[in-house]
Amino acid sequence: MVVQTPARRRTTRRLADGRELVYFDDPGSALPAERLEDRRDLPPRPVTATMRQDVLTGDWISHATARQGRVLLPPAHLDPLAPQSAANPSEIPSPYDVAVFENRSPSFGPGLPDPSAVPDLSGIALNRTAPATGRCEVISFSPEHEGSFGSVSATRARTVIEAWADRTAALSALPGIAQVFPFENRGAAIGVTLHHPHGQIYAYPYVTPRTTRLLEAIDSYGPTLLADVLASERAGERVVLAGEHWTAYVPFAARWPIEVHLMPHRHVPDLAATSAEEREELAGLYLRLLRGVDALYDDPTPYIAAWHQAPVHSHRDTARLTLQLTSPRRGAGKLKYLAGSEAAMGAWVGDVAPEQQAEQLRAAIARADQEDPA
């Protein structure tokens, strides 16, 4: 199916094993509307993994053992996110601008529950299991072999944002989905398995532990929590970038040596709810932020860029969309490792004062802006 909008074209196809593939074309793209079929002989998809509940915390743990065989840092000529060629039977049959497809080795899914019998995952009990239903997708930001979101053009960044919004809406509509999470892992220190510029989108069957803690804080403080956080940060000294619709800041109680939150000024629960004007400004601001993070040191900075969105079925009017970008980099050639206190007890110790972080990031963004004024 091809969906044509005034600016961007969206085309859906199926891979040889039945997985969904969606192409998103830049405005004015020279790519043809027709896309090649995937003619690979692929094995059947793995069965849906099983989750086990940790009775000490209530957390659900998916044991997706099929992921052990996934590709690890392949050479460029065998890039699984490059367009297919005679020598490279990759995951994407046609040339593309942005492409999204179901992960071949998912942590959740490919199974989905019967819409009339979605399991209740609340409560705690011994030896409790459930199918790890859901959806895991890969989003490729570019056909280039190396890079990250920060290396794409402003036009391409806007297309990726459109894809994030599209997939958030589509995945939220699937049966049994409780939360949708777009994210990008960047750098070997984070554990990436591909250098190709890409991210992932997880659709979970439960509300994640981190978001559950946030919802508890909202319920304790009151429904204006995130609005009040934004107002407080905008009035303080930790803002690193601000526009008409978005503000980026180092949070008051930052855990990581590099930690930036990016929040919309208007309450929106997720990327699907953002306006065209908000998406347009986000493309430029987000690129400036990422390029500033890279300008902190002489080589690229590893990070996790996590789009925290409201759950699908609750707190839609209080849990606000927020990007949380974190990096373990605490200096040139230095990484923060989670040792006993943080890893075992969750008792964090910050290595850099948040105000110092913000000052360094503002200076780095200014340097990056001078090098790339566009």
280/306 same-domain check = yes
Q: Check whether residue 100 and residue 223 sit in a common domain.
A: no
| pLDDT tens, residue order, the chain (374 aa) | 555 444 799 999 999 999 999 999 999 999 998 999 999 999 999 999 999 999 999 999 999 887 766 666 678 789 999 999 999 999 999 999 999 999 999 999 999 999 999 999 999 999 999 999 999 999 999 999 999 999 999 999 999 999 999 999 999 999 999 999 999 999 988 888 889 999 999 999 999 999 999 999 999 999 999 999 999 999 999 999 999 999 999 999 999 999 999 999 999 999 999 999 999 999 999 999 999 999 999 999 999 999 999 999 999 999 999 999 999 999 998 999 888 899 999 999 998 999 999 999 999 999 999 987 65
Largest pairwise CA distance in the chain: 58
pLDDT value of position 5 = 47
| Cβ–Cβ < 8 Å for 281, 246 | yes
Question: DSSP string spanning 256-312?
Answer: SSEEEEEEESS--SSGGG--HHHHHHHHHHHHHHHHHHHTTSSSPPPEEEEEE---S
Whichever domain contains 318, its CATH number is 3.30.428.10
| 101 and 237 assigned to the same domain | no
Active-site residue 196, yes or no? no
Residues 126, 229, single domain; the answer is no
Distances (CA, A) of 232 to 145, 249, 289, 355: 41, 11, 20, 14
Whether residue 136 is found in the same domain as residue 260: no
Q: Which residues contact 303 (CB under 8 A, 6 or more apart)?
A: 184, 186, 187, 190, 258, 293, 325, 326, 327
- Collapsing DSSP to helix, strand or coil, 333 comes out as coil
Residue 339 has a pLDDT of: 85
Question: Do both 66 and 165 map to the same domain?
Answer: yes
Evaluate whether 60 touches 50 at the Cβ level (below 8 Å): no
Catalytic residue among 195, 196, 198, 267: 198
The reply to whether 202 and 215 lie within a common domain is no
| pLDDT confidence of residue 47 | 95
Indicate whether 43 and 171 sit together in one domain.
yes
282 close to 274: Cβ distance less than 8 angstroms:
yes
Indicate the residue among 188, 206, 224 that finishes a domain.
206
Pick the last residue of a domain from 206, 235, 252: 206
Structural domain containing residue 8: 2-206
Q: Provide the number of structural domains found in the chain.
A: 2
How far from chain centre, in Å, is Cα 240?
Answer: 21
Rounded Cα distance between 228 and 75, Å, is 48
Q: Looking at residue 4, what is its pLDDT?
A: 47
**What tokens were used for 173?**
């509509």
Same domain, 188 and 319: no
Q: What is the pLDDT of residue 68?
A: 66
Note the pLDDT of residue 192: 87
Residues 154 and 21 occupy one common structural domain: yes
